Amino acid sequence: MQMPDGPPAEIDLTRPSAARVYDYFLGGAHNFEIDRQLAEQIASMTPNLAATMRSGRDFLRRAVRVLLDAGIDQFLDIGSGIPTVGNVHEVAQAANPKARIVYVDIDPVAVAHSRELLAGNDLTAVLHADLREPERILAEARESGLIDFDRPVGILLAGVVHFVPNADRPGDLLATLRAAAAPGSYLVVSHSTFEDQPQEMLDAQRLSARTDTEITLRSRAEISSFFGDWTILEPGVVHMPLWRPDSPSDVDEHPERFGAFGGVARHDQPAG
């Protein structure tokens, strides 16, 4: 892979990275041999995990369109990954050229490539930060001048909360993010699950232990709890292909084989 000025100094090339494995599965070029080896091992165990990643990107695109239709014009995308086709800013700015997006990722390669891709796009910023430090993310997003938390914002957590172990209290992290958002804001979450999954999928997910960001699979109930008291939009927290498909023919007979749930919730004003 080509980096603008060589790989960022802090990259550990002896371990695969979740962001780069994901990039490989999406057909991107921002990955190293160590990542491709893990991706190929995963692919040999089950075809479903690669399909899940593509399905996750499609879910995110559909969710962002729903938020745009609702008038959301500022997005905080945490765990945004390596830029590949169908990035949030592409979807958002195609619909609203004034849409503002702050990307956040823990992976230095994802951050370096995002900055390279977005150079010259003044309505976007890229933060190198950790979801486990939500106050810092909120402060830096504010400082970027792109996100006004007094107005409705779309907070996107697609395929990232499962990288936070229970010991790091993901429920509290999500509550901090929700508390910062004005009424009318939306929260988008997709998250890997053990529910309805065959053993080979669970075994493949377990390989994430080789990266710095091991996955914690969670139940639909646990994932739903991340929305707190916000109003979960129809059709609820569902297997990702079932969330407002562009066409019914996009959903095959086994939507559960994409081993993740997705949902979207809105911060409604309390009654009274």
Residue 107 contacts ligand SAM per CB under 6 A:
yes
Question: 55 or 224: whose CB is closer to ligand SAM?
Answer: 55
- The least CB distance from residue 8 to ligand SAM, in Å, is 13
**Per-residue binding letters, 239-268, with ligand SAM (x by CB under 6 A):** ------------------------------
Residue 158 contacts ligand SAM per CB under 6 A:
yes
- The least CB distance from residue 78 to ligand SAM, in Å, is 6
What residues between 55 and 74 interact with ligand SAM by CB under 6 A?
A: 56-57, 60
Rounded to the nearest 5°, which phi and psi values hold at 124? -130, 155
- The least CB distance from residue 95 to ligand SAM, in Å, is 18
- The least CB distance from residue 237 to ligand SAM, in Å, is 16
Residue 159 contacts ligand SAM per CB under 6 A:
yes
- The least CB distance from residue 22 to ligand SAM, in Å, is 4
What residues between 16 and 55 interact with ligand SAM by CB under 6 A?
A: 18-19, 22
Residue 80 contacts ligand SAM per CB under 6 A:
yes
- The least CB distance from residue 3 to ligand SAM, in Å, is 16
What residues between 188 and 217 interact with ligand SAM by CB under 6 A?
A: 213
> Rounded CA gap, 87 and 62, in Å?
12
Which string of DSSP letters, residue by residue, matches the chain? ---BTBS-TT--TTS--HHHHHHHHTT-S---HHHHHHHHHHHHH-THHHHHHHHHHHHHHHHHHHHHHTT--EEEEET--S--TT-HHHHHHHH-TT-EEEEEES-HHHHHHHHHHHTT-TTEEEEE--TT-HHHHHHHHHHTTS--TTS--EEEEES-GGGS-GGG-HHHHHHHHHHHSPTT-EEEEEEE--TT--HHHHHHHHGGGGSSS------HHHHHHTTTTSEEPTT-SEEGGGSS-SSGGGS-S-GGGS-EEEEEEE-PPPP-
Residue 91 contacts ligand SAM per CB under 6 A:
no
Using CB under 6 A as the criterion, which residues of the chain lie in contact with ligand SAM when the complex forms? 18-19, 22, 56-57, 60, 78-81, 104-107, 110, 130-132, 158-160, 163-164, 213
